[in-house]
Structure 1
């Protein structure tokens, strides 16, 4: 198999550099074994338009090499140049984009704006001539091979030399057994002890007669994983506004994985809107989102994040209209978003995932995406959205009630109450009669609710 490189630039400005790069890769014995390069000027006649052709080629490529100089280039009907369009197309579905900016005394305004956009999304390198350029390209391709041809997923199974069983948090172990789905481990625990349990689930190994944790074992069971320089923080924030400016509440979780899941559950129930509905003699609590779907996304973020990225955290952000869970690390090559539900998972962290699979949180590996979708559908909400952006993978859950409504109105519409009086609406939210009437009248205007009368009693019914 050879990885496909898409070479993108203003063709006229970089005519010599493009030819040089293509020739050097094709003439290099090592690079030519692993890479093939697509350069638009070398393509034969096609029934497709040029834009259709390079759009298809860029999305099918594994690596994007972008050259930027002083001239932005021709403007397409979309208002951007072919180079920027190619960058956008690749950036939506892939991660391995290498940008090289030529040192020059002049740049047009559109080029400067394009560079500013790239600066906010990924890193880039500068060059002065084609020889320096290719030297940097060669190094980038070497790094790509090093990451993809070695056992890239080995980080989670690396042994921590300075660890021992003294680093194990017994409370985290108990949490593990509380959610355990693999019964033989209880027998091992009873007959041989906790160290043999850790060994059985590959949370570490014996070295020189002493048991040492690996990175997965530290993430699950260590008193303090940060002691071993493992970045595992989860930032949880509830925002007042839709843009993430006004913070209502926040917390930073740095404990073991199962403790983080508990903290996330507490944070969710503490900061999302709820109501209590009486059905018969029972009081039922209704939330904005199904927590089972949210928890599944957090489990996936913890299990599949790239722990070698130490400058970023998992984020769990709750907005008035959505929840976003973002994890460092894009999908593992060659997995694509369109393939997420095919039950043929490709794991970055094999060892970590296997430990998770022993619990109720991941008892059926590869079905998490479907469970998220099913839970949202059951709750009457749209399916979650999945996207890659820069170095991150993000899941978005949307509360698809009209954003013009306030939280009381949104909660009421999700309560599935057949009918309600003004007095009952006042009691549900502990508000005045004027506020209740204002809410209900707006719902009538927006055609969410119909006003009805039964004798002298006026009630409001949610339109189905």
Structure 2
């Protein structure tokens, strides 16, 4: 960074990515700040600036070595930030840039996990910590147990049909004990401390009423007459149930809400689709399979406007996936259970072709290139009308 950049940062004050600290900060406190940035989106710590933005400077000639020692000894896994000394107004400021961590979650030497929220750090909640583990691929929420559930919450007829079709044996020929063991081995059930629960994915694929145990499951659909969310509401629905059933229902809802103008081709009148069916199906299934189900406060949202359809999926992109990587077919299975079973049910493949296919198909239809973006804690796919 240059002097002008630092002056501008100090003038604008602290935010989600900027923290001011004076030279006398304790190693424990500095480690907490560094961990919170690494567990979030990264950020910069200016040492030698007080909370009000007054430049105090640092005098310790060994400050870089001390900061690196803190990052190595007080942050687990160890963190390697960028360090820079900047002279301003005759005083030295230590600039510590912490990158978004690749080995989340990070914690301090006293086993505390911190995240950055606004201008402050705080200890991660259970749900936030779960998402940190998920982000690094160390835990998959879709195979975690759902408390207060049992095999009675599953539709055994649906499971039997699945195994008859793909595994060539009849579940009804098995004893109750053998059936339970089969479902545990298939991750449909989870055994924890000699108790057996349904897994998240088991409920979502084979559950009787998944939304009763997983309120985040399902999709909110809204159709607006216009191009803004404040325009007249044409249709509104909440779709719940098993995710394969949700996908089918959503296809019907979207088609019923689309106009189907026709064109004359020779002597025949042909319907001209606003959005290719294959694209809609891929967008729906992608959103259902890859959302972050550990975020319990919201459902998937699909918003239809006169000029576009937006697919809002709770959760940021997992692991090291980026928008640019998605465009060339590089993906990461946040929910491998859902991916495996939806693939077996012929809803998807695991080749990462979903987004490239959507981009290619919409281009072929003469539409504006779909927009892929992370906004806050959501991933949004926007399809523009052909």
TM-score, scaled relative to structure 1: 0.57
Among 166, 185, 207, the residue aligned to 1:184:
166
**Residue 204 of structure 2 is aligned to residue 219 of structure 1:** yes
Residue aligning to 2:283: 297
* Contact 2:218 2:243 (8 Å CA) reproduced: no
Residue aligning to 2:16: none
TM-score, scaled relative to structure 2: 0.67
**Residue 21 of structure 2 is aligned to residue 36 of structure 1:** no
5+ residue gaps, structure 1, are: 44-53, 64-95, 102-124, 126-135, 401-464
* Contact 2:339 2:350 (8 Å CA) reproduced: no
Among 333, 341, 344, the residue aligned to 1:358:
344
Deviation at 1:214, TM superposition (A): 0.7
Distance 1:317 1:210 in 2: 41
* Contact 1:160 1:228 (8 Å CA) reproduced: yes
Structure with larger Rg? 1
Among 76, 98, 106, the residue aligned to 2:116:
98
Structure 1 residues 211 and 314: CA distance shift in structure 2, 3 A: same
The residue correspondences of 1:246-395 to structure 2 (distance < 5 A) are 246-277=232-263, 284-395=270-381
Number of residue pairs matched by the alignment: 316
Structure 1 residues 146 and 352: CA distance shift in structure 2, 3 A: closer
Structure 1 residues 317 and 11: CA distance shift in structure 2, 3 A: farther
The answer to which of 269-278 and 312-321 deviates more is 269-278
The answer to which of 185-194 and 385-394 deviates more is 185-194
* Contact 2:370 2:381 (8 Å CA) reproduced: yes
Structure 1 residues 99 and 162: CA distance shift in structure 2, 3 A: closer
* Contact 1:152 1:348 (8 Å CA) reproduced: no
Structure 1 residues 185 and 207: CA distance shift in structure 2, 3 A: farther
Structure 1 residues 157 and 147: CA distance shift in structure 2, 3 A: same
The answer to which structure has the higher helix fraction is: 1
Distance 1:32 1:184 in 2: 44
Distance 1:173 1:14 in 2: 65
Structure 1 residues 33 and 217: CA distance shift in structure 2, 3 A: closer
The residue correspondences of 1:439-458 to structure 2 (distance < 5 A) are none
* Contact 1:236 1:251 (8 Å CA) reproduced: yes
* Contact 1:231 1:310 (8 Å CA) reproduced: yes
Residue aligning to 1:413: none
Residue aligning to 1:231: 216
Distance 2:133 2:59 in 1: 27
5+ residue gaps, structure 2, are: 1-34, 88-94, 102-113
Query: What's the RMSD between the two structures over aligned residues?
Result: 4.3
Deviation at 1:258, TM superposition (A): 1.2
Among 150, 155, 158, the residue aligned to 1:164:
150
Distance 1:16 1:144 in 2: 36
* Contact 1:7 1:39 (8 Å CA) reproduced: no
Distance 2:58 2:354 in 1: 44
* Contact 1:306 1:328 (8 Å CA) reproduced: yes
Distance 1:337 1:27 in 2: 34
2:250 partner SS: helix
**Residue 7 of structure 2 is aligned to residue 7 of structure 1:** no
Residue aligning to 2:139: 153
